[in-house]
Structure 1
Amino acid sequence: MVSSYEDIHFLEETLGFWKQLNQSQKMKLQNIIIKKSFLPGESMHSNSEYCSGLYLIHTGQVRAYIVSESGKEITLYRLFDRDVCIFSASCIMRNIAFDIHVEVEKDTTTFLIPTPEFQKLSDEVIAVQKFTNDLMASRFSDVMWIMEQALFTSFDKRLASFLLEQSVVDASEELKITHEKIANHMGSAREVVTRMLKYFQNEGVIELQRGTIKILNRKLLERWSNSYGSNNT
């Protein structure tokens, strides 16, 4: 249940359709919302068969990813404060059936709108349908960009881009992340990641430490990300 001014303000900011609801609908939504907290490594959503509902990320960080038949993971997108996880409610959308996993990366607090209630609200209010469609379009755009990168961009450029993105996420030039975790994000093998990181280190772009990757030359890494490398490892 949501009752505090801060929580209601969060709903107003996060749900683009909030102002289109009548007072009764707002009160009902406040009463059925479930507050949930997750720890790093926990799963928020594991497959298309279980449709928990619409997760609103209050604080924290999660990633949505898929797993290939061979067991390789690739991150589709990440969610942060005030983002909405639509794929955890994908069962309300017709003709969309796929296995997607949502894993918590940092301590995360959420508000969950259960599927039946969200479905009913969507049937009653056109603004909710538009919100859902716009959100799905945005997420699929993210997915298509990732697939385009995986298929048509050389691995060195993808890895450089990932390291730059991770430094923004961590707000640091020292990245506390394992080679295995990077491989999971990028849909690659750990050995491939390690080999390319060592190449970056030999070029003076980064420094590899135990459990840490330190960016030494950000400008060169940015050049690499844009057009510098050509190794399709």
Structure 2
Amino acid sequence: MNVKDKYYQEVLRFWKDLTPNQRELVDHSIIKKHFNKGEAMRSSSDQCSGLFLIESGQVRAYIISENGKEITLYRLFDRDVCIFSASCIMKNISFDIFIETEKETTAYLIPTSIFDKLSKESMAVQVFANELMASRFSDVMWIMEQTLFMTLDKRLAIFLLEQSNIEESDTIKITHEKIANHLGSAREVITRMLKYFQEEGIISLSRGTIHIVNRKRLEQLTLY
């Protein structure tokens, strides 16, 4: 068994249900791709690359409003699967979603035509795709709930704690502009809120860096 086979078996839950011919088809058609930080994996609804399996790295899926504001829908990490990059095979779903790398990323790509063929032939693949779509839409609904019903200070506190967990550090290297893009806000608004957090002794700010000084106070902001 080679490394790729092992990877497929662990990430693609439907692998064990594929026939030998279907497994061979995937093995011969799958493509390993490398992306630099900030590179687009999918830039518009007109592009439909296929199903991405994230081997390593960090990926962000987001939408852009008519006035150019961005808001992050969800993020993907090692061993996650990006279903929206194959959205063109999903019937009656039409949307503009952008997918870019936040870190240097390595991913395997199952081309759209191959994944579409497997979906039509295998119920297990259909179930996998439907479950993945349901999970991603759950992520999107959580973001919509935050945007519609939570105050910005609470949303910002949630984001800083999540980012701290991702980086496994209380020191977060990120610009105010990037936070604004994640939260669908303006940079000036984020800057004012961060300065308020700093005045309250919750964080300290330096150029391109946020350090969480009082994690307990930050966590308390997420509860109200």
- Normalising by structure 2, report the TM-score: 0.99
Matches within 5 A, 1:140-219: 140-219=137-216
Does 2:28 match 1:31? yes
User: What is the one-letter code of the residue matched to 1:154?
Assistant: T
Equivalent position SS for 1:188:
coil
For this pair of structures, how many residues does the alignment match?
224
Does 2:103 match 1:103? no
User: What is the one-letter code of the residue matched to 1:226?
Assistant: L
Structure 2: 5+ residue runs without aligned partners?
A: none
Aligned equivalents of 2:3, 2:211: Cα separation in 1: 38
Structure 1: 5+ residue runs without aligned partners?
A: 228-233
Aligned with 2:2 (options 1, 5, 12): 5
Q: Could you list the per-position Cα deviations for residues 105-139 of structure 1 after superposition, in whole angstroms to 9, with x for gaps in the alignment?
A: 00100000000111001101010000000000100
Task: Give RMSD over aligned pairs.
Answer: 0.7
Query: Which residue number corresponds to residue 57 of structure 1?
Result: 54
Report how far residue 184 of structure 1 moved. 0.2
Aligned equivalents of 2:184, 2:121: Cα separation in 1: 40
User: What is the one-letter code of the residue matched to 2:223?
Assistant: N
User: What is the one-letter code of the residue matched to 1:77?
Assistant: Y
Aligned with 1:128 (options 108, 125, 129): 125
Q: Could you list the per-position Cα deviations for residues 157-207 of structure 1 after superposition, in whole angstroms to 9, with x for gaps in the alignment?
A: 000000000001111110000000000000000000000000000000000
Does 2:18 match 1:21? yes
User: What is the one-letter code of the residue matched to 2:202?
Assistant: V
Q: Could you list the per-position Cα deviations for residues 192-227 of structure 1 after superposition, in whole angstroms to 9, with x for gaps in the alignment?
A: 000000000000000001110000000110011122
User: What is the one-letter code of the residue matched to 1:123?
Assistant: K
Aligned equivalents of 2:27, 2:202: Cα separation in 1: 50
- Normalising by structure 1, report the TM-score: 0.95
Equivalent position SS for 2:104:
strand
Q: Could you list the per-position Cα deviations for residues 35-87 of structure 1 after superposition, in whole angstroms to 9, with x for gaps in the alignment?
A: 00001010000111111100000000000000000000000000000000000
Aligned equivalents of 1:32, 1:10: Cα separation in 2: 15
Aligned equivalents of 1:92, 1:67: Cα separation in 2: 22
User: What is the one-letter code of the residue matched to 1:10?
Assistant: Y
Aligned equivalents of 1:186, 1:94: Cα separation in 2: 29
Aligned equivalents of 2:13, 2:184: Cα separation in 1: 33
Aligned equivalents of 1:160, 1:211: Cα separation in 2: 17
Farther-moved stretch of structure 1 (62-71 vs 6-15): 6-15
Query: Which residue number corresponds to residue 231 of structure 1?
Result: none
Report how far residue 23 of structure 1 moved. 1.2
User: What is the one-letter code of the residue matched to 2:211?
Assistant: K
Q: Which runs of 4+ in 1 moved over 6 A?
A: none
